[in-house]
């Protein structure tokens, strides 16, 4: 089965004796299982203060070098940061000639399941260019509150736990140190999350990025990806009860959130 092209993505190959260990010390998730065979891990690169810089898939195909599958808009800054951390490690990062495809249903040979959520199907890395995109991925993301790079995930602003990384298998609290680990662990163990990405229902028109407020005008959050009458929003949970306003639209927190 041929998948559709995953548009707006950049694919790098990461080679050298220190490749896996190098990435392991930088990102939010445990990459060591990739040293034992084919697999795919979703992870984030953070600032030392624990704020989001980039997210990407680290992929070990059945054959060939380690790969990084990253949003095109985040690629240049991320590559500069990785090279800054590289120092004398035996690591080389270069463009890959392979293509990224994705799809739903039966997966082709060599494809790997999207590690974030089963509803997101599979991803494939090979020499074949995928077909034109047809699947409504935004609808799937909204249904399961899956944030997207540089959309819900905002550079130097978002925090992993507020963005659903624990629920979506993007952070490992047992792997040891990485950049931003202390802040992320503190949020996990010592604080109660009072803000975060949630699914909301909308009545009326409100464009992407519209600020959300309570009925008495207090700031409550921001509206992001919309699909039909539902959307992903970043909300202050202590102000999320009852009807909220986003421009001329009415916004309410969906009672059944993904878990």
**Tell me: the pLDDT tens digits for 179-221?**
999 999 999 987 788 999 999 999 999 999 999 999 999 999 9
Q: Are residues 199 and 100 in the same domain?
A: no
95-115 pLDDT per residue, tens: 999 999 999 999 999 999 999
Q: Are residues 14 and 82 in the same domain?
A: yes
H or E, element range at 223: strand 219-227
CATH label of the domain that carries residue 117: 3.30.70.1400
Tell me what the mean pLDDT of segment 66-82 comes to: 98
The domain in which residue 29 lies consists of 4-143
Sign (positive or negative) of CA dihedral 233, 239, 244, 245: negative
Which pLDDT value is given to residue 46?
98
Q: Are residues 117 and 39 in the same domain?
A: yes
Rounded to an integer, what distance in angstroms lies between the CA atom of residue 194 and that of residue 249? 24
3-state secondary structure 1-64: CCCEECCCEEEEEEECCCHHHHHHCCECCCCHHHHHCCEEEEEEEECCCCEEEEEEEEEECCCC
> Domain boundary residue among 143, 158, 181?
143
Is 228 domain-assigned? yes
Q: Are residues 129 and 206 in the same domain?
A: no
Tell me what the mean pLDDT of segment 167-179 comes to: 96
Is 36 domain-assigned? yes
Is 169 domain-assigned? no
Is 167 domain-assigned? no
Is 89 domain-assigned? yes
Q: Are residues 198 and 139 in the same domain?
A: no
Q: Are residues 224 and 131 in the same domain?
A: no
Is 165 domain-assigned? no
How would you list the strands of the sheet with 99-103, edge to edge? 4-5, 99-103, 122-126, 112-113
Rounded to an integer, what distance in angstroms lies between the CA atom of residue 134 and that of residue 16? 37
Which pLDDT value is given to residue 192?
84
CATH label of the domain that carries residue 248: 2.40.30.110
Strands 122-126 and 99-103: antiparallel
- The rounded mean pLDDT for the chain is 96
Q: Are residues 91 and 206 in the same domain?
A: no
Residue 164 three-state SS: coil
Residue 259 has pLDDT above 90, yes or no: no
What's the total number of domains in the chain? 2
* % of the chain surpassing 90 pLDDT: 96
Q: Are residues 25 and 89 in the same domain?
A: yes
pTM summary value: 0.96
Is 173 domain-assigned? no
Q: Are residues 32 and 95 in the same domain?
A: yes
Q: Are residues 24 and 130 in the same domain?
A: yes
Going by pLDDT thresholds of 50, 70 and 90, the confidence category of residue 2 is confident
> Domain boundary residue among 118, 143, 168?
143
Which pLDDT value is given to residue 19?
98
Going by pLDDT thresholds of 50, 70 and 90, the confidence category of residue 1 is low
> Domain boundary residue among 143, 162, 180?
143
Is 155 domain-assigned? no
Which pLDDT value is given to residue 109?
94
């Amino acid at each position: 089965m041929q998948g559709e092209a995953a548009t707006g993505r950049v694919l790098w190959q990461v080679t050298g004796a220190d490749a896996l260990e190098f990435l392991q010390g930088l990102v939010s998730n445990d990459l060591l299982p990739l040293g034992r065979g084919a697999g795919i891990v979703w992870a984030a690169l953070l600032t030392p203060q624990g704020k989001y810089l980039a997210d990407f898939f680290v992929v070990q195909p059945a054959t060939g070098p380690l790969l990084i599958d990253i949003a095109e808009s985040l690629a240049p800054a991320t590559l500069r940061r990785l090279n800054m951390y590289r120092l004398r490690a035996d690591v080389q990062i270069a463009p890959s000639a392979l293509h990224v495809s994705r799809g739903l249903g039966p997966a082709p040979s060599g494809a790997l399941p999207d590690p974030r959520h089963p509803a997101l199907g599979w991803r494939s890395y090979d020499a074949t260019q995928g077909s034109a995109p047809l699947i409504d991925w935004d609808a799937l993301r909204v249904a399961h509150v899956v944030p997207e790079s540089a959309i819900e995930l905002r550079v130097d602003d978002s925090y992993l736990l507020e963005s659903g990384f624990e629920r979506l298998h993007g952070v490992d609290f047992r792997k040891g140190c990485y950049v931003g680990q202390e802040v992320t662990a503190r949020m996990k163990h010592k604080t109660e999350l009072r803000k975060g990405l949630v699914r909301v229902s909308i009545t009326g028109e409100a464009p992407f990025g519209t600020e959300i407020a309570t009925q008495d005008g207090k700031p409550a959050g921001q509206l992001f990806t919309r699909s039909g009458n539902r959307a992903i929003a970043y909300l202050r949970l202590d102000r999320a009860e009852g009807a909220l306003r986003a421009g001329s639209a009415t916004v309410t927190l969906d009672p059944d959130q993904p878990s």
